[in-house]
């Protein structure tokens, strides 16, 4: 292994690939069916990319993230010109119980929100350098990965890693969400989205604050959602992985458009892992099999990423 390879693999864990049971039929329909998937050998970051790591990338390259640039109204027909300013989506607790079918009640588009100011222009990351970077669009995660000589994981690679060697267990650590009453991941405890056990503050936690899974990987569940390279589609298809990069779900970009908004032709990628906003009463996606669609142009205050290097 040469010096470049050594640097590339610092802070990473080598996983020997193979077949595993992917998906779940016990929670949300988009996770089904349970099927046999295959991945090759790969290295994966032991922790999600932190603010400190992303700051180094920006310092060395001068990179400007998606949220730091004003959107082009020509790309968004009907956009109010007043909204054509840099910013991003920020979680904002409600003052009391609300209808959980309406996420607009706790999400706000905040001008000036970006990775340096994750909750808006008055926020900062000075004390959060070892927290996962957030307000990251898909193109930002991809740019960092390419700079680091790495890649973003496929959905199958991510789920294989998150399972930590456990066969079809619902959680990354086993059968119980909180074994012996112990919190195993940074998820929402309390009444979502208004009352939380513990400080609201940054909501994210320092990477590695919770126990690793069986592969020695931290924060695969909770803390922040993580980007994968796979286009999101409701249906699933399988491949035996005999040629090229093995995957368990195959989708084309056009399949990833949100059918609820046919006029909006923004493709979506698969997010994995859940976040600090996942709660038993609202979003039980703090599991390896869970998946969520995210438009590639939509960074938020609870989305980050980690990288892989395929062996």
CATH code where residue 292 lies: 3.90.1580.10
Query: pLDDT value at position 5?
Result: 52
Q: Which of residues 159 and 237 earns the better pLDDT score? A: 159
- The answer, yes or no, to whether residue 180 has pLDDT greater than 90, is yes
Q: Report the C-alpha gap between 286 and 272 in whole angstroms.
A: 9
Query: pLDDT value at position 251?
Result: 72
- The answer, yes or no, to whether residue 245 has pLDDT greater than 90, is no
- 107-111 and 87-91 beta bridge pairing: antiparallel
Query: pLDDT value at position 240?
Result: 41
Query: pLDDT value at position 249?
Result: 52
Structural domains in the chain (count): 1
**How much is the average pLDDT of 179-186?**
95
**How much is the average pLDDT of 287-305?**
97
Query: pLDDT value at position 236?
Result: 56
- CA-wise closest residue to 58 among 136, 153, 138, 124: 136
Question: At 241, is the pLDDT very low, low, confident or very high (cuts 50, 70, 90)?
Answer: very low
Domain boundaries, position 61: 3-310
Query: pLDDT value at position 3?
Result: 44
Question: At 252, is the pLDDT very low, low, confident or very high (cuts 50, 70, 90)?
Answer: confident
Q: Lowest mean pLDDT: which of 23-27, 258-262, 275-279, 306-310?
A: 258-262
């Amino acid at each position: 292994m040469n010096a470049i390879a050594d640097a590339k693999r610092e802070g990473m864990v080598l996983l020997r690939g193979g077949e595993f049971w992917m998906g779940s039929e016990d929670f949300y329909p988009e996770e089904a069916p349970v099927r046999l998937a295959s991945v090759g050998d790969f290295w994966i970051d032991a922790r999600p990319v932190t603010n400190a790591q992303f700051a180094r990338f920006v310092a060395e390259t001068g990179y400007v993230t998606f949220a730091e640039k004003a959107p082009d109204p020509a790309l968004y027909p009907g956009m109010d010109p007043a909204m054509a300013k840099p910013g991003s989506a920020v979680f904002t607790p409600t003052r009391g119980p609300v209808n959980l079918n309406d996420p607009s009640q706790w999400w706000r588009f905040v001008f000036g929100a970006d990775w340096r100011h994750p909750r808006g222009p008055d926020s900062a990351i000075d004390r959060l350098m070892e927290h996962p970077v957030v307000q990251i669009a898909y193109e930002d995660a991809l740019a960092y990965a390419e700079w680091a000589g790495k890649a973003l994981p496929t959905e199958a690679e991510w789920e294989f890693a998150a399972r930590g060697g456990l066969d079809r267990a619902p959680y990354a650590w086993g059968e119980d969400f909180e074994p012996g009453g112990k919190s195993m991941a940074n998820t929402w405890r309390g009444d979502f989205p208004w009352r939380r056990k513990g400080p609201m503050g940054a909501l994210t936690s320092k990477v590695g604050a919770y126990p690793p899974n069986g592969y020695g990987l931290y924060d695969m569940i909770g803390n922040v959602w993580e980007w994968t390279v796979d286009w999101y589609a409701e249906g699933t298809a399988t491949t035996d992985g005999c040629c090229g990069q093995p995957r368990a779900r195959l989708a084309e970009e056009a399949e990833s458009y949100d059918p609820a908004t046919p006029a909006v032709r923004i493709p979506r990628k698969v997010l994995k892992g859940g976040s600090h906003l996942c709660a038993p009463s609202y979003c039980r996606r703090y599991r390896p099999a869970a998946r969520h669609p995210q438009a590639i142009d939509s960074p938020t205050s609870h989305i980050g990423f980690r990288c892989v290097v395929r062996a």
